[in-house]
Structure 1
Amino acid sequence: MSAAPERTRDTVTATDAPTYTFPVPDLSAEALAAVTAEIAATAAEYDRSGQIPVRGLEAAHRAGLLTAAVGTQFGGPGLGPRDLVRILTALGEGDASVGLLAANLLGTHAGQAAHPHWPAAYYDDLLLRSRGGPALVNAIRAEPELGAPARGGIPKTTATRTADGWVLSGHKAYASGGAALAYHVVWAVADEPDGDPERPRVGHLIVPAEAPGIRWIETWDHLGLRSSHTHDVVYDGVELPADAFVEIPRGPDGVYRDPAAQAGPAGFGHAALYVGVARAARSAFAEFARSRVPTALGRPIATTERIQAVAGEVDLQIVQAETLLHGALLRFEAGDTSILPELSAIKVAIGRSVIAATQTAVAALGNPGLSRHHPLERHLRDALCIRVHPPQEDVVLLTAGRRVLGV
């Protein structure tokens, strides 16, 4: 596995070389499989305890996977979307919660690489933290009253302008990573003395996790992703510098639209981790089928045509999901922009295949597939969580239908 990044200089200016260097991870099938296996060894334990999957995250960090999207201008390998989805498929196959936390982090690094927007001191600090271990980041957007931001509306969470910077106040929900986060990227509306109250600015604030005024409420008790620590968090007068606010521009018509309302190439990381979950379900099904020898049959059920056909159906669904995932990114990399309106529908199709593969495996095994003594039960719970990631299926189908019908 790759070594930890090394510091190249003690200070940095705008014209200096990157402050840190990060290794290019080994993405060979063998190397990724080794990381998957190490993470999988503790996945069931963390699922039961609900604790942050520290050992799984550390395994991903040692392999250089958590810094794979750090931009080359910051000393990182700057890997692109197809490499990142390969990483996230491997991590999700080991533990879906590790995959989720990694997807949020890698998306942050990729966004910073493409369009640098963090306060320089904060991003340098994030890279410094990433030298010694996992340094998690998440965009914290949902609110108890508003619900999913992708369905419209602006946040109640406010960033009040002061003479020195901003004061952040509000209550957020579903903040994956919990107290294990190093930085929060908090969606808020600006409250400014010279702002337009009818059309306030909307953006994200970059918030160090140890800033005074942050309080966690442990609300997460979910069907799947149980060790992701997707709790509520309250910001009570958190003071931040002036450059911590990053505005999200309105559309040409002056209307604010949530960036997550439509899938893009950078957003396929979440879909990729669930493809990994389906792969884990396929492996668990095959292992059970090879080892299960009913007395009446006298041989492994894997030798029966029924179980072989089920295995084939599971494999078909996974092949379909992986082909959609990588095929869409290949078309985009080739410059085929006609695929952009279809990306949300492709994400939905991937989700359907992931769930179909996992449910097919569970249904064929009956009670063993639903027992907490067997990993298939956990994989099913985790796979179902793909539906909550924006854009959600009903919105996607409505938008696609209107496009097809021209209405």
Structure 2
Amino acid sequence: MNLLEQFISNARQQALVELAYKLGEKAKQRVNVAEKTAKLPMETVVDFKEAEYLSLTLPTVYGGKALSLYEFLLVQEQLAVGDGATALSIGWHLGIIKELSEENIWDDTTFEWFAKEVASKQLLVNRIATEPATGSPTRGGIPETKAVKQGEHYIINGRKTFATMADVLDYYLVTAYAEDKETVGTFLIAKESSGITVEQTWDTLSMRGTGSNDVIFSNVDVPEAQLVELSTQRKKPAAKGWLLHIPACYLGIALAARNDAIAFAKNFQPNSLSTPISEVAHIQQKIGDMDLKLLQAHHFMYSVANQWDHYPEKRANLGPDLAAVKTVITNLANEVVDLAMRIVGGRGLSKTYQFEQYYRDVRAGLHNPPMDDMVIQILAKRAIN
């Protein structure tokens, strides 16, 4: 049984999921290359551009599909069934485009120009905010990257870490401390700008295909007009629904592991048995446990997404629920992959199968924001208040 199918309710959703499936299958064929090079393959990026996938979350007036949060999560999960690293990477881009489209963060002229560029050229963009000294920006550290005003330009110097898709992005959204404004600003900077170097530092166990290398800015000259956000001006909504692309990705990895484990169990028959191991009681127990966890995860995530889409007046109060979705799904996803590995046994550690990659990649979800400790504190404060 395909667990995702029961959450598809109309022809538009079906078409979107089918597109994500096709692109996920193409990405899956390049997993070995991505693992060895620790980069998102450029061929995969080209596939997404040719399919006009990078404009899905843009408003229809700019040629996008204006995906709802529910639809965004459907395609994100399906894409991750093919390859989790690709899904997480592209999810950041689509989520940022959705955020910019819906929250009016930029002035209208700048956003209109950028939206048209994304649609016509299928540009790929990501925020790069994490730094060695500050850690995750969700913890509130002030960036050490500095933007110094010189006439009508800014000169930017600093280093960013965990810059997902660093090598293949068209634009970076870079946070820096703007000294003249005495606050943190975000600059829209073309990757090909002079003074930008991508350092190949991505040597992690998990999500190697995201290519989350360091980016170094050395006297990068940026026109003042490319200062697109100031933290003092930006509205701070209580909730960011688009960040559910993170748990949707790890749910997709867990679903892929579940599917592969069941296929293995139905086809593996040791000579000590007269049937495949799928008929063995303790194997069926593990399969049932996987599906129980996945049903819990799916219903929780898509229920919250439905609330976000259909009751916009409630969004300001959905922050704790969104955070809880991330924590619950990423932990359940790890449990599902662990069960899949136990079904397959020692063969799951072999590079012949993909289980060991699922096992490595799904761990990364525990380290994506928001962290479990922060989520528990948020829930506790809501309960007390």
**TM-score computed with the length of structure 2 as normaliser:** 0.88
Per-residue deviation, residues 239-281 of structure 1 (Å, max 9, x unmatched)? 1121211334449xxxx9998xx76211111211111111111
Within 5 Å, give how 1:174-193 maps onto structure 2: 174-192=162-180
Equivalent residue, structure 2, for 1:341: 320
Per-residue deviation, residues 47-89 of structure 1 (Å, max 9, x unmatched)? 2342423344344444433221122232222212111111111
Q: 1:122 to 1:66 in 2, by over 3 A?
A: closer
Equivalent residue, structure 2, for 1:329: 305
Equivalent residue, structure 1, for 2:27: 39
Q: 1:245 to 1:149 in 2, by over 3 A?
A: same
Equivalent residue, structure 2, for 1:289: 265
Within 5 Å, give how 1:1-400 maps onto structure 2: 27=15, 29-114=17-102, 115=104, 117=106, 118=110, 121-130=113-122, 135-192=123-180, 195=181, 200-250=182-232, 264-335=240-311, 336-337=314-315, 338-400=317-379
Quick check: which one's helix share is greater? 2
Letter in 2 for 1:97: A
Letter in 2 for 1:292: F
| Per-residue deviation, 1:123 | 4.8
| Per-residue deviation, 1:223 | 1.0
Question: Which SS does the other structure have where 1:239 is aligned?
Answer: strand
1:305 and 1:56 map into 2 onto residues whose CA distance is 41
| Per-residue deviation, 1:146 | 0.9
Letter in 2 for 1:203: G
| Per-residue deviation, 1:155 | 0.7
- Whether the 8 Å contact between 1:126 and 1:182 is mirrored in structure 2 is no
- Whether the 8 Å contact between 1:92 and 1:99 is mirrored in structure 2 is yes
Letter in 2 for 1:372: K
| Per-residue deviation, 1:39 | 2.6
Question: Which SS does the other structure have where 1:178 is aligned?
Answer: coil
Equivalent residue, structure 2, for 1:6: none
In structure 1, runs of 5+ residues without a counterpart are: 1-23
Percent identity between matched residues is: 25
- Whether the 8 Å contact between 1:166 and 1:240 is mirrored in structure 2 is yes
| Per-residue deviation, 1:150 | 0.8
| Per-residue deviation, 1:353 | 1.2
Q: 1:247 to 1:49 in 2, by over 3 A?
A: closer
Q: CA RMSD in A?
A: 2.4
Question: Which SS does the other structure have where 2:54 is aligned?
Answer: coil
Question: Which SS does the other structure have where 1:27 is aligned?
Answer: helix
Letter in 2 for 1:208: A
In structure 2, runs of 5+ residues without a counterpart are: 1-11
Per-residue deviation, residues 289-342 of structure 1 (Å, max 9, x unmatched)? 122111111321112222122111112222222111111011122324443332
Q: Which moved more, 1:225-234 or 1:242-251?
A: 242-251
Question: Which SS does the other structure have where 1:179 is aligned?
Answer: coil
1:149 and 1:28 map into 2 onto residues whose CA distance is 32
Letter in 1 for 2:278: A
1:340 and 1:331 map into 2 onto residues whose CA distance is 12
